[in-house]
Structure 1
Amino acid sequence: MIRLLSLALLAWLSAAAITARAADREAAAAALFDRVSSDPARLRVFLKAMPKGADLHNHVDGSPYAEAYLDWAGRKGLCIDRAALSITDPPCTAPDRVPAAGLILADPVLEQRMIDALSVRGWTEGVGRDTASGHDRMFGAFARFLAVARLVPGSSVAEVRRVAALDHVSYLELMYNPLGINRFALTTRDAAWNDTDLEGAFARLQPLLPELLASARRETDATDAAARAALGCATGSAEAGCAVQYRYIGYGLRLLPPPQLFRQLAVLFALADADPRYVGVNLVQPEDDPVAITQYRLAMRMVAFLATRYPKVHRSWHAGELALGLVPPEALADHIAQAVGEGRAERIGHGTDIAYETDATATLARMARDHVDVEINLASNDVILGVRGAEHPLRLYLAAGVPVTLSTDDEGVLRTDMTDQYVRAARVHALSYRDLKRLARASLEYAFLPGDSLWVGRQPGDPVPTCRDLTSASCTRLASGSPKASLQRDLELRLVAFETEIVRQRF
């Protein structure tokens, strides 16, 4: 008995020593952060090096920078429409069309105009602000590069992973659809559709699912293979992006007519249920569009119905990506409440209008109680909605105890990256190093990854007993059997290395 007590005491003392060393490391890093936080350049250096966990809100098509799309367009033999400032299919001999290949040498002025048109770069510098809002410039860019984006999903995935590695992001959840599912949704009709009979619509779809899912899997195989090839993952010169893990989240186009939206969502739920590469479903397209507002409640009924058929499929809805003035006050009343209520959201994207909801405090309390994460996109909310600084509800969510994560949204179109989100959170919202560390940990806790967590009760920072010592055999066993715990443990080890090294550097 005495021997057992002695061993227990030694284990406790060892754990206490580990905790004390961790606290000392964190305190030193936090002190350095405080010293550099008023200097934008030094703060950027600090936060660039900081391990950030996951980016949970990332649209594959919107993430490559315009320069990448122009390069790929040239390689694919596509054209530039001078008048529309868009990438188009050949032939390039039509009036106002020129080959995309060699554009930077043939017409560098047009190349720069194209970069502005495929992103918000010029708009953020004041070009065209009198003719288009940030909202319209952002959403309008997608149609301009669609011709090439649909041809290079693997290259896009590779580019997102490449940038994530530079930002010390270790995991991505990418909003991506196999093109076959989109074509099916856009071109098929359900003549017997009735808004009140989702069961009937679901039953009519069942005979079509096997081939649709098989096709989607083949297309995803090709996308993954192309991404690996672009990064050289099977070669001796593999890029750092190969180490960035990722999963897909399928998305429904909320502006589709209801029969088509339901069919698209149903196929995506079925795909996520059958293929572990897909971990959830989302709803995209401008939430302020009159169509989206009109059928928002119906869309929530659709996803609630499908959630009962596919209970293992995770759900994250764009909700509350609205601002006063962009829509009338009544449109701000309850989108977030509907998403976390009938829509059964496990996460919501943006959540910018929470303060304008009719029962905001009850919704915040529910999100905190049910651990519904809000994916905050600071650069996106600034450009698209004009919601920035003290107007942004980031601190409201934190004060209410709602789980918060930072994400990039459409980093290429927005000309941003994950480090920029952390810099904005620090400089504009006065978040501390410990705050940012909690957000990084939360990003993996609320990722739709399978397996047990490293943390007790969804409280990042409070490790389960088996992982009080990250290097112990028990923690290694947990990590080896859980994709979630594996990435969480890796983040903790990266944070240890970061906090140890950053204080030794001179900058």
Structure 2
Amino acid sequence: MTRIITLFCFFIAQIGFSQTAENYLEKIRNNEALLTAFFQQMPKGGDLHHHFSGSVYAEPLLERAIAEDFYLNLESMGVSKTKPAIGNWQTFSSLKSEGKLAFYEQQVMQTWSAKDYNGSVPSDDLFFDSFQKFEPTIKGHFAEGMLELKNRAIAENVSYIETQLSTIPCDMNVADLNDFNSKLRNAASQKDEKSVLKLLGELYKAIQQKDAKKYATDFNTNFIAKLHKDLKIDDDRFTMRYQNFVLRFMDPVDLFKNLSIAFISANDSKLVAGVNIVSPEHGENSMKDYWLHMVMFKYCHSKFPDVKYTLHAGELTLGLVQPEDLTWHINDAIYIAGANRIGHGVDIAYEANSYDLLKYMSKNSIPIEINLVSNEFILKVKENRHPFTLYKEFNVPIVISTDDAGILRTNMTEQYVLLAKRYPDVSYATIKQYVYNSINYSFIQDATVKKQLVKDLDARFKTFEAKFSKN
């Protein structure tokens, strides 16, 4: 009898913990400082929409450029290890000797990130252009960045990151296959899926004959596995996995070559969780070849059915593109490409038959990766213009993520602060579900690892909620 009473009291206490945390959240809805303290300490599970190079903060990148005496382009604020032939370039050491270093440090910070953003350039241009400016400081320094991200995650109670670390290096010569570019685009212009799939089959065979697998194996073994092991990334506090990605702006042959290798890599390594596609969705090639890209994913899935993939789709808004271009990207990512998750999905309200699409996502458990700070900065979409509530109303699984925390000067805590403040109908229990979604809908291949992360999340929430039972 005593044991039964003890267990009953324990059960009531657990309910009390959760209820007390919920009551406290309701009291502080409109106070950002209190919300920040609350969510800083709350377990946040995983960050599933995460670009490595855009998540490292600008400060260490700039410090590295200065320490290694890079050349700085005084107009664009791009850097280079060697002096390019064209442009006004000067070493950081010479800028220091001339007393100009402090000025240019400030210019670099405002060009490589959203620090002190004042609208002098379009926000989407600043964001997407920043990558190529600081990219030379990333090369050869992945280890420092990975440890920075791990330590920051641990500090704000994030236990998992699924990051897009690097494209797969490939020097395969495909000049003899360039005829496929026009053939694929001609077939795509007619939406002739059968012909496109046939051409992709021929192209895939030609790529395999050029030993595509060796690039995937080298990447998996000598880059991903080596870094992951040497840095001891996984431990009892944190886990990281990696997404391969391809670049939308490339011509079809080069993109499909890279996509094929990305799928081979993901199929052969448990550390590579899945595949993605990146670059501005509103770019010329991105728009022109979007449908073709979706068929490419469909083809690769037929070859590697166990490989998961999430697609940037619908990172568009009215004014950025023509209205008719807002009606089909998420549809095609789901119905043609067969995406397992959708990144951004901002234009969902404009998509053709959006209600049916949302019902399909809900029924088939296709999560949406919500990036509140990113969508506000890049697309100027926030609060009631943001489709978060639309996804929520249709019970589409939701995960909260950062996108590019370094460029955007944000973190995971701020995403939850904005979520709680802007959408007061989202309860603590619902937010907690989003946290669990970030583990349950991750692409982690090892079921044991995923199970352990959920168990760890249980323990973290128990500790967090216990804090409020004492108030």
TM-score by length of 1: 0.83
- In 2: Cα distance, 1:212 partner to 1:361 partner: 42
- Look up the match of 2:143: 154
Residue identity over aligned pairs, in percent, reads 28
Change (3 A) 1:244 1:72: farther
Shift of the alpha carbon at 1:39? Answer: 1.4
- Look up the match of 1:419: 413
* Correspondence list, 1:91-130, <5 A: 91=83, 96-99=89-92, 107-123=101-117, 126=118, 129=119
Shift of the alpha carbon at 1:16? Answer: 6.5
- Look up the match of 1:318: 312
2:131 to 125, 142, 155: 142
SS of aligned partner of 2:414: helix
Change (3 A) 1:294 1:80: same
Find out whether 1:278 has 2:265 as its counterpart. Answer: no
2:227 to 218, 223, 227: 223
Find out whether 1:363 has 2:366 as its counterpart. Answer: no
Shift of the alpha carbon at 1:451? Answer: 4.8
Change (3 A) 1:27 1:184: farther
Tell which deviates more after alignment, 208-217 or 218-227: 218-227
Asked whether the 8 Å contact 1:92–1:99 carries over to 2, the reply is: no
Find out whether 1:436 has 2:428 as its counterpart. Answer: no
2:159 to 170, 184, 191: 170
SS of aligned partner of 2:54: coil
- Look up the match of 2:52: 60
* Correspondence list, 1:390-409, <5 A: 390-409=384-403
1:31 to 23, 28, 35: 23
- In 2: Cα distance, 1:333 partner to 1:71 partner: 44
- In 2: Cα distance, 1:161 partner to 1:95 partner: 37
- Which string of whole-angstrom CA distances, capped at 9 and with x for unpartnered residues, describes residues 415-465 of structure 1? 00000100010111223222211110111110012355xxxxxxxxxxxxx
Shift of the alpha carbon at 1:149? Answer: 1.7
- In 2: Cα distance, 1:306 partner to 1:296 partner: 16
Asked whether the 8 Å contact 1:75–1:101 carries over to 2, the reply is: no
What code does the residue aligned with 1:497 have?
T
Change (3 A) 1:14 1:400: farther
- In 1: Cα distance, 2:418 partner to 2:148 partner: 23
Find out whether 1:78 has 2:37 as its counterpart. Answer: no
What code does the residue aligned with 1:214 have?
T
- In 1: Cα distance, 2:61 partner to 2:240 partner: 21
SS of aligned partner of 1:121: coil
- Look up the match of 1:191: 178
- In 1: Cα distance, 2:331 partner to 2:74 partner: 45
Find out whether 1:298 has 2:285 as its counterpart. Answer: no
Asked whether the 8 Å contact 2:344–2:369 carries over to 1, the reply is: yes
Asked whether the 8 Å contact 2:58–2:407 carries over to 1, the reply is: yes
1:40 to 13, 32, 53: 32
Shift of the alpha carbon at 1:83? Answer: 2.4
- Look up the match of 2:193: none
Asked whether the 8 Å contact 1:89–1:147 carries over to 2, the reply is: yes
- Look up the match of 1:210: 213
Shift of the alpha carbon at 1:179? Answer: 4.7
Asked whether the 8 Å contact 1:202–1:266 carries over to 2, the reply is: yes
- Which string of whole-angstrom CA distances, capped at 9 and with x for unpartnered residues, describes residues 54-83 of structure 1? 000000010011101112223444232222
Change (3 A) 1:318 1:189: farther
- Look up the match of 1:492: 458
What code does the residue aligned with 2:51 have?
H
2:301 to 295, 304, 307: 307
SS of aligned partner of 1:173: strand
- Look up the match of 1:376: 370
Asked whether the 8 Å contact 1:79–1:99 carries over to 2, the reply is: yes
SS of aligned partner of 1:172: strand
Asked whether the 8 Å contact 2:168–2:215 carries over to 1, the reply is: no
Change (3 A) 1:138 1:364: same
Asked whether the 8 Å contact 1:444–1:488 carries over to 2, the reply is: yes
Structure 1: stretches of 5+ with no match in the other structure: 1-5, 234-240, 453-481
- Look up the match of 1:460: none
Shift of the alpha carbon at 1:291? Answer: 1.5
- In 1: Cα distance, 2:93 partner to 2:406 partner: 19
Asked whether the 8 Å contact 2:316–2:346 carries over to 1, the reply is: yes
* Correspondence list, 1:240-279, <5 A: 243-279=237-273
Shift of the alpha carbon at 1:143? Answer: 1.3
SS of aligned partner of 1:279: strand
- In 2: Cα distance, 1:387 partner to 1:257 partner: 30
- In 1: Cα distance, 2:254 partner to 2:84 partner: 34
- In 1: Cα distance, 2:433 partner to 2:94 partner: 45
- Which string of whole-angstrom CA distances, capped at 9 and with x for unpartnered residues, describes residues 328-377 of structure 1? 11101111111111111110000001001111001000000000000000
- In 1: Cα distance, 2:249 partner to 2:73 partner: 27
Change (3 A) 1:242 1:253: farther
State how many pairs are aligned: 450
What code does the residue aligned with 2:346 have?
T
SS of aligned partner of 1:56: strand
- In 1: Cα distance, 2:114 partner to 2:339 partner: 30
2:444 to 446, 449, 458: 449
Change (3 A) 1:370 1:100: farther
- Look up the match of 2:189: none
TM-score by length of 2: 0.89
Asked whether the 8 Å contact 1:138–1:384 carries over to 2, the reply is: yes
Superposition RMSD on alpha carbons, in Å?
2.6
- Which string of whole-angstrom CA distances, capped at 9 and with x for unpartnered residues, describes residues 78-130 of structure 1? 2322222122223599954122799699622211111111011132xx2xx1x
Shift of the alpha carbon at 1:33? Answer: 1.3
SS of aligned partner of 2:281: coil
Change (3 A) 1:313 1:421: same
Structure 2: stretches of 5+ with no match in the other structure: 185-195
Shift of the alpha carbon at 1:222? Answer: 4.3
What code does the residue aligned with 1:33 have?
L
Asked whether the 8 Å contact 1:77–1:90 carries over to 2, the reply is: no
